[in-house]
Amino acid sequence: MAEIRRVEVLENLLKANDYLAAQLRQEWDEGKTYVVNLMSSPGGGKTALLEATLPRLADRYRLLVLEGDIETERDAERIRALQVEALQITTGGTCHLESHMIEQAWRLVRDGPRPHFVFIENVGNLVCPASYILGEHLRAVLMSVPEGDDKVLKYPKVFRNSQALLITKADLLPYVDFDPQRVWEEARGLQPQLSHWIVSARTGEGIDDWVRFLQEQRDEAFPPG
Ligand SMILES: Nc1nc2c(ncn2[C@@H]2O[C@H](COP(=O)(O)OP(=O)(O)O)[C@@H](O)[C@H]2O)c(=O)[nH]1
Ligand SMILES: [Mg+2]
């Protein structure tokens, strides 16, 4: 009986999350704000990807980053060093971001000029973030070369629920046994619509293609003119 009750409570929490996510999405659509949710293991390269991506967008777009971490402002400080606005969301132990956390941060900026792009850096974790939609337009999962190429089928949900896969730290491929083709094929087996890139924030490999994709996706969501 207790187990049934637990499942009910969890289902209701997820419903409340999804309801608020839908409201956020409506507001973002009205303001033509394109929102990207980045997910990976801790150290998978999310902040480094942002550090490579944001300068390539900053001359044409108004940008905002929402940084999710259990503690500290460290990642937000890295983003602010690029002269990009960043709000840190510290979850105080929760292993993922939820819509109400995004809404609290968004409330601080929603009356100002609307950003063209919002990047959400989720808490480093391949499991919990997979269950929580945040109203985003694009869910991107990062898998870094040193993590090993066997992870997709171990953590299937995050790949199944994403539209973009970035294999990160490509500059380390010569030093690590990692088969990008294996990762790609296993991920595509779970999610046939997945787009993918092999990138290195260190060398810049693949970043221009990724940035072009983001611009195209935004143009598709909000046709210019
Ligand atoms: N060699 C290499 N190291 C990287 C790359 N991207 C990130 N790193 C390193 O990986 C570590 C974690 O990166 P970070 O962006 O903080 O990961 P996050 O926890 O997912 O935000 C840092 O020491 C980075 O310098 C890359 O493209 N190549
Ligand atoms: Mg980070």
CA of residue 210 to ligand 1 center, whole Å: 17
Query: What are the pLDDT digits (tens) for 12-50?
Result: 777 999 999 999 999 999 999 999 999 999 999 999 999
Q: Which residues line ligand 1 (CB under 6 A)?
A: 40, 42-48, 124, 168-169, 171-172, 200-202
What percent of the chain has pLDDT above 90? 92
Among all bound ligands, the one having the nearest atom to the CA of 67 is 2
Among all bound ligands, the one having the nearest atom to the CA of 167 is 1
| DSSP string across the chain | -HHHHHHHHHHHHHHHHHHHHHHHHHHHHHTT-EEEEEE-STTSSHHHHHHHHHHHHTTTS-EEEEEEESS-SHHHHHHHTTT-EEEEEE-TT-SS--HHHHHHHHHTTTTSPPPSEEEEE--S-SSGGGG---S-SEEEEEEEGGG-TT-TTTSHHHHHT-SEEEEE-GGGGGGS---HHHHHHHHHHH-TT-EEEE--TTT-TTHHHHHHHHHHHHHHHS---
Q: Which atom of ligand 1 is nearest to the CA of 121?
A: 21
Work out the mean pLDDT of the chain and round it to a whole number.
Answer: 95
Q: Which atom of ligand 1 is nearest to the CA of 48?
A: 15
CA of residue 169 to ligand 1 center, whole Å: 7
Inter-CA distances, 7 with 3, 156, 220, Å: 6, 21, 38
- CATH number of residue 21's parent domain: 3.40.50.300
Q: How confident is the model at residue 5 (pLDDT cuts 50, 70, 90)?
A: confident
For position 212, what pLDDT does the model report?
98
CA of residue 129 to ligand 1 center, whole Å: 19
Among all bound ligands, the one having the nearest atom to the CA of 40 is 1
CA of residue 146 to ligand 1 center, whole Å: 10
Q: Whose CA is nearest to atom 13 of ligand 1?
A: 45
Domain containing residue 34: 2-221
Report residue 142 CA to chain centroid gap. 8
Q: How confident is the model at residue 61 (pLDDT cuts 50, 70, 90)?
A: very high
For position 1, what pLDDT does the model report?
61
Q: Residues near 126 by Cβ (< 8 Å), separated by ≥ 6?
A: 39, 40, 41, 141, 151, 155, 158
What would the mean pLDDT of 121-133 be, rounded to a whole number? 96
Q: Whose CA is nearest to atom 2 of ligand 1?
A: 169
Among all bound ligands, the one having the nearest atom to the CA of 46 is 1
CA of residue 167 to ligand 1 center, whole Å: 12
Query: What are the pLDDT digits (tens) for 64-123?
Result: 999 999 999 999 999 999 999 999 999 999 999 999 999 999 999 999 999 999 999 999
CA of residue 82 to ligand 2 center, whole Å: 15
What percent of the chain has pLDDT above 70? 99
Q: How many domains does the chain have?
A: 1
Q: Whose CA is nearest to atom 8 of ligand 1?
A: 45
Separation of alpha carbons 164 and 38, rounded Å = 9
Do 101 and 21 touch, CB atoms closer than 8 A? Answer: no
Residue with the larger pLDDT of the pair 52 and 12? 52
Q: Whose CA is nearest to atom 12 of ligand 1?
A: 43
